[in-house]
Structure 1
Amino acid sequence: MSALLKIRAGRDQMSAIERRIADFILDNAQLLRDYSSQQLANALGISQSSVVKFCQKLGFKGYPDLKYSVGEAIARADNGDDATRPDADGEQPNGDPALELWRCKSEAQEVTRSINPPEAVEAVATAIADAGNRGKVFIIGLGEDDIHARAFALRLSLLGILTVHNFDTAHMTASVSAAHGGDVLLVFSEHGKQPALCQIGRLFRERGGTVVTVTRHSANPLRAHADLSLLVSAHDDRAHIEPLLYHSALQHLLDRVFVLLCEGGRDEQLQANMERIRPMLEG
């Protein structure tokens, strides 16, 4: 993963000073080669040691190592590896907004993939599969989060996994009273700040179930109640673009879980259920 993607991936977990450094680098990557660590510190009004610590926290030996890595990323883009990258004025070189949107979505998916290693995704798939064998999977999401919650609940049902989907916290709280050890609760919440969802997560764990949260890659109250977490990183300064990147990266992440479930032996059940449903759709 390039230095710039690594900075974007870790931004949500950074302190206020670290975010200032990250934003400056992301906004002025082309100019970084002309800055020493002291000049960067002076531009931001912080200490030079803060810049060095920032670089080391990202896994670089120091500022020169980070600057070299950023320079490599820019050189690859200039050589055509990222032909749709905006120029300094924010215009698309090829004038095609569709290609720029595709680039942004691809980048969000790449960063999201990097912060959800295979073993983490496999752990979620295993928990869901085990719950499907001997119990239930509870799924909840509020507002726009319910779009993905509802769609994923349908997919699990097609795999023969008993799901309890709800978008009402009161009803889900009542449903959780029937949960048992081995059951799984999937909570979709982009920002993870709804107190009601935190309460449901706590109650579910008290029942012996496994809580899986699906949120942005940020420190949030909901993750404190999670046994397993799926994380999404998608950022853009344009208010109409950022939600599109979030939904795209999240969908790709859920697709990874779904594929693992299918390859775990549930593909035949999926095919059988699709055959039963097809006449209803075609009629």
Structure 2
Amino acid sequence: MSPLLKIRSERDQMSAIERRIADFLLENSHLLRDYSSQQLANALGISQSSVVKFSQKLGFKGYPDLKYSIGQAVARGDGADDGGTSRETRADDPHAALAEDLWHLKALAEAETRLINPPENIDAIAHAILQAGKVFIIGLGEDGIPARAFATRLSMLGIVTVHYVDAILMQAGVSSAAPGDVLMVFSEHGRQPTLCQISHLFRERVGRVVTVTRHTPNPLRAHGDAALLVSAHDERRHIEPLLYQSALQHLLDLIFVLLCDASEERRLQLDFNFERMQDLLDH
């Protein structure tokens, strides 16, 4: 596993000092061979012990092991930001470099997101959805876009789906929840008190709550039984949401494929619904 990828994926969970170390390593990975732990500490204005503890927290014996592993990753081009210099572009396409860089950033965000969502957690969520009598789904504002799309896909599989874009209506809707039902709550930052309240009410009815948020500590995750986490970062405000949406969509696509592969009956229902929709479009 690339240490650079691990650092990026774990950044949201780090302390302020750890984030400073992480950002320096990510931005200067190709120069680390010239830095001792003391020189790195001096450059950041922190103690040498902070650098050592950071390395150990990532699973390395110390800073030399971390530095060596990062050097190997840079040599392989694994998780390092090469600034696009190694990617070929078409001379006649003025958007080629921009498209390649955006694709690279999305791929990195998706890789980080896979890293923080263990396969056993994904399998457990997919199993809970398959076994649920009903799947309730809610997302407010921009979070409502992926929520609605995923609700539609579940419906196409013949899974009974209750989708709301209004928190007040969802509060009323959860009164029909039964043991074994699932509530999926989409909230990038997980800070809406109303969604926390809905999740609490749902769990009281012995339902299972799945939160879909960024990989950050947030109030909503405390009300969930399981979590889908997204890691996507960029300093540019117009780029970061694109990375979040791309990584989230990839994660939801993975769950959808697992649901399809787990049940031939569901796949047949999906095919039937596709054919019925096509018939309606053709007439």
1-structure distance, mates of 2:87, 2:41: 31
Matched residue SS, 2:163: strand
Say whether the 8 Å CA contact 1:84–1:100 is kept in structure 2.
no
Equivalenced residue count is 275
Matched residue SS, 1:236: coil
| Cα deviation, residue 85, structure 1 | 2.9
Q: Cα deviations across residues 53-89 of structure 1 (Å, max 9, x unaligned)? A: 1111111111011111111122122xxx78983169x
Which amino acid letter does the alignment assign opposite residue 156 of structure 2?
Answer: L
Which amino acid letter does the alignment assign opposite residue 191 of structure 1?
Answer: H
2:87 matches 1:86: no
2-structure distance, mates of 1:83, 1:183: 42
Which residue number corresponds to residue 109 of structure 2?
108
The 5 A counterparts of 1:180-195 are 180-195=178-193
2:174 matches 1:173: no
2:67 matches 1:67: yes
Say whether the 8 Å CA contact 2:210–2:227 is kept in structure 1.
yes
Provide structure 1 residue ranges, at least 5 long, that are not aligned to the other structure.
none
Check 1:269–1:178 CA distance in 2 against 1; reply closer, same or farther (3 A cut): same
2-structure distance, mates of 1:82, 1:254: 23
Which residue number corresponds to residue 96 of structure 1?
97
2-structure distance, mates of 1:10, 1:83: 16
Which residue number corresponds to residue 117 of structure 1?
118
Check 1:278–1:261 CA distance in 2 against 1; reply closer, same or farther (3 A cut): same
Say whether the 8 Å CA contact 1:160–1:270 is kept in structure 2.
yes
2-structure distance, mates of 1:48, 1:127: 46
Check 1:37–1:93 CA distance in 2 against 1; reply closer, same or farther (3 A cut): farther
Q: Cα deviations across residues 2-26 of structure 1 (Å, max 9, x unaligned)? A: 1111100000011111111111111
2:272 matches 1:279: no
2-structure distance, mates of 1:277, 1:226: 35
Q: Cα deviations across residues 237-267 of structure 1 (Å, max 9, x unaligned)? A: 1211111111111011001110111111111
Provide structure 2 residue ranges, at least 5 long, that are not aligned to the other structure.
90-95
The 5 A counterparts of 1:198-277 are 198-265=196-263, 266-277=266-277
Q: Cα deviations across residues 194-225 of structure 1 (Å, max 9, x unaligned)? A: 11111111010001100000111111110000
Say whether the 8 Å CA contact 2:84–2:97 is kept in structure 1.
no
2-structure distance, mates of 1:3, 1:269: 43
1-structure distance, mates of 2:109, 2:97: 19
Matched residue SS, 2:176: coil
| Cα deviation, residue 281, structure 1 | 2.6
2-structure distance, mates of 1:233, 1:83: 16
Runs of 4+ with deviation above 6 angstroms: 81-84
| Cα deviation, residue 118, structure 1 | 1.2
2-structure distance, mates of 1:122, 1:83: 30
Q: Cα deviations across residues 33-55 of structure 1 (Å, max 9, x unaligned)? A: 11111111111121111111111
2-structure distance, mates of 1:268, 1:125: 18
Which residue number corresponds to residue 23 of structure 1?
23
Which residue number corresponds to residue 36 of structure 2?
36
Give the TM-score taking structure 1 as reference length: 0.93
Say whether the 8 Å CA contact 1:108–1:234 is kept in structure 2.
yes
Identity between Structure 1 and Structure 2 (%)? 68
Say whether the 8 Å CA contact 1:85–1:100 is kept in structure 2.
no
| Cα deviation, residue 282, structure 1 | 3.2
Matched residue SS, 1:110: helix
Say whether the 8 Å CA contact 2:139–2:165 is kept in structure 1.
yes
Which residue number corresponds to residue 46 of structure 1?
46
